[in-house]
Amino acid sequence: MQYTSQTLERIISELSKLPGIGRKTAQRLAFHVLKQPRNEVAILAQSLLDLKEKIIRCSLCFNITETDPCSICMNTKRDRRTICVVEEANDVLAIERTDQYRGLYHVLGGLLNPLDGIGPGDIRIKELLERVDSMQEVILAINPNVSGDATIMYIAEKLSGLPVKISRIARGIPIGSDLEFADMTTLTRAMEGRVTVR
Contacts of 131 (CB under 8 A, 6+ apart): 60, 83, 106
- The pattern of x and - marking residues 73 through 102 that bind a second copy according to CB under 8 A reads ---------------xxx-xx--xx-x---
Query: Could you say whether residue 20 binds a second copy (CB under 8 A)?
Result: yes
| Closer Cβ to a second copy, 66 or 116, answer by number | 66
Residue from 22, 44, 153, 185 in contact with a second copy (CB under 8 A):
44
Residue from 22, 23, 48, 177 in contact with a second copy (CB under 8 A):
48
Query: Could you say whether residue 33 binds a second copy (CB under 8 A)?
Result: yes
Query: Could you say whether residue 153 binds a second copy (CB under 8 A)?
Result: no
Would you say 131 and 106 are in contact if contact means Cβ atoms under 8 Å apart? yes
Q: What is the 3-state secondary structure (H, E, C) of 128-140?
A: HHHHHCCCCEEEE
Q: Determine the Cα–Cα distance for residues 65 and 75; give it in Å rounded to an integer.
A: 13
Q: Determine the Cα–Cα distance for residues 168 and 118; give it in Å rounded to an integer.
A: 21
List the one residue out of 144, 65, 131 whose CA is nearest residue 103: 131
Query: Could you say whether residue 116 binds a second copy (CB under 8 A)?
Result: no
Q: Determine the Cα–Cα distance for residues 159 and 138; give it in Å rounded to an integer.
A: 9
The distance of closest approach from Cβ of residue 65 to a second copy in the complex, given in angstroms and rounded to an integer, is 6
Query: Could you say whether residue 163 binds a second copy (CB under 8 A)?
Result: no
Q: What's the distance, CA 78 to chain centroid? A: 20
The distance of closest approach from Cβ of residue 75 to a second copy in the complex, given in angstroms and rounded to an integer, is 10
Catalog residues that contact a second copy under the rule CB under 8 A.
Answer: 1-8, 10-11, 14-15, 17-21, 24-25, 27-34, 36, 38, 40-52, 54-55, 63-66, 70-72, 88-90, 92-93, 96-97, 99, 180-181
